[in-house]
Amino acid sequence: MYALTPVLIVGIIFFTISVVISLLIYYRSRERQMLIEKNLDPSQIKDFYQRKKINSTIWLKLGIISIAFGIGLAVGNILYEIYPNSEYLIAFGIFIFTGIGSIISYFVSKKYDD
Residues 62 and 101 in one domain: yes
Residues 109 and 61 in one domain: yes
Confidence (pLDDT) at 49: 55
Residues 65 and 42 in one domain: no
Q: Domain range holding 41?
A: 5-50
Handedness of CA 35, 39, 54, 110 (dihedral sign): negative
3-state helix, strand and coil shares in percent for the chain, rounded to the nearest 5: 80, 0, 20
Q: What angle, rounded to 10 degrees, do the helices at 88-113 and 57-82 form? A: 160
pLDDT tens, the chain, 114 aa long: 677 888 888 899 999 999 999 998 898 788 778 877 887 765 666 655 555 555 667 878 888 999 999 999 999 899 889 988 888 888 888 899 999 999 998 888 888 776
Q: Give the number of domains in the chain.
A: 2
* Count of other CB atoms within 10 angstroms of residue 108: 14
Confidence (pLDDT) at 74: 92
Residues 45 and 71 in one domain: no
Confidence (pLDDT) at 53: 53
Residues whose CB falls within 8 Å of the CB of residue 93, separated by 6 or more in sequence, listed in order: 72, 73, 74, 75, 76, 77, 79
Residues 64 and 103 in one domain: yes
Residues 61 and 105 in one domain: yes
**Contact of 60 with 105, CB cutoff 8 Å:** yes
**Contact of 100 with 68, CB cutoff 8 Å:** yes
Residues 67 and 91 in one domain: yes
Rounded CA-CA distance 78/76 in Å is: 5
Confidence (pLDDT) at 3: 79
Residues 64 and 104 in one domain: yes
Residues 13 and 46 in one domain: yes
The pTM (predicted TM-score) of the whole model is 0.52
